[in-house]
Amino acid sequence: MAIDRYCVMGNPVAHSRSPWIHARFADLTGQVMQYGKRLVPLDGFASSVHAFAAEGGRGCNITVPFKFDAAAMADRVSARAALAGAANVLSFEGGLILGDNTDGAGLVMDLQRNAGFDLRGREVLLIGAGGAAAGVLGPLLQEHPARITLANRTLARASELVTRHRDLAAQMDVELLGRSLQDLQGNFDLLINATSASLNEAGVPVAGSTLKRGALAYDMMYGAPAQGFLTWAAEHGAHARDGLGMLVGQAAEAFRIWRGVLPPEQQVLDELRQLVQEAS
Ligand code: ATR
CA gap 62, 70 in Å, rounded? 7
Q: Atom of ligand 1 at shortest distance to CA of 86?
A: 2
Count CA atoms within 13 Å of residue 233 on its CB side: 22
pLDDT score recorded for residue 219:
97
pLDDT score recorded for residue 125:
98
In terms of domains, do 236 and 260 share one?
no
Of the listed 67, 122, 165, 241, which one is catalytic? Answer: 67
Residue nearest to atom 18 of ligand 1 (CA): 154
Instruction: Provide the mean pLDDT of the chain.
Output: 96
CA gap 230, 219 in Å, rounded? 8
Amino acid sitting at position 157: R
pLDDT category of residue 26 using cuts at 50, 70 and 90: very high
196 lines ligand 1 (CB under 6 A): yes
- The secondary structure of residue 114, as a DSSP letter, is I
Mean pLDDT calculated for residue range 163-183: 97
Could you list the residue range(s) of the whole structural domain that residue 14 is in?
A: 4-101+245-279
62 lines ligand 1 (CB under 6 A): no
Element (DSSP H or E) covering residue 188 = strand 188-193
Other residues' Cβ atoms within 10 Å of the Cβ of residue 185: 8
CA gap 135, 124 in Å, rounded? 16
pLDDT score recorded for residue 173:
98
Nearest to 254 by CA among 240, 242, 241, 268: 268
Other residues' Cβ atoms within 10 Å of the Cβ of residue 111: 26
In terms of domains, do 54 and 140 share one?
no
Q: For residue 32, what is the domain's CATH number?
A: 3.40.50.10860
Evaluate if residue 262 carries a pLDDT over 80.
Answer: yes
In terms of domains, do 140 and 262 share one?
no
In terms of domains, do 164 and 229 share one?
yes
In terms of domains, do 117 and 162 share one?
yes
pLDDT score recorded for residue 30:
98
Number of compact structural domains in the chain = 2
Ligand 1 centroid – CA 239 distance (Å): 23
pLDDT score recorded for residue 201:
77
In terms of domains, do 238 and 117 share one?
yes
pLDDT score recorded for residue 264:
97
The pLDDT tens digits for 117-152 are 999 999 999 999 999 999 999 999 999 999 999 999
Q: To the nearest 5 percent, what fractions of the chain are helix, strand and coil?
A: 45, 25, 30
pLDDT category of residue 65 using cuts at 50, 70 and 90: very high
In terms of domains, do 143 and 76 share one?
no
pLDDT category of residue 19 using cuts at 50, 70 and 90: very high
CB of 127 closer than 8 Å to CB of 118? no
- Strands 76-77 and 175-180, how do they pair? unpaired
Mean pLDDT calculated for residue range 84-108: 97
In terms of domains, do 64 and 133 share one?
no
Mean pLDDT calculated for residue range 60-81: 97
Say whether pTM exceeds 0.85: yes
**In the chain, pLDDT over 90 holds for what percent of residues?**
93
183 or 147: which carries more pLDDT confidence? Answer: 147
Q: For residue 236, what is the domain's CATH number?
A: 3.40.50.720
pLDDT score recorded for residue 41:
98
In terms of domains, do 19 and 94 share one?
yes
In terms of domains, do 62 and 41 share one?
yes
Evaluate if residue 1 carries a pLDDT over 80.
Answer: no
Q: Atom of ligand 1 at shortest distance to CA of 133?
A: 4
Q: In what order do the strands lie in the sheet with 147-152?
A: 175-180, 147-152, 123-127, 188-193, 211-219, 239-241
Mean pLDDT calculated for residue range 91-106: 97
In terms of domains, do 183 and 167 share one?
yes
CA gap 128, 154 in Å, rounded? 9
In terms of domains, do 202 and 222 share one?
yes
Residue nearest to atom 3 of ligand 1 (CA): 132
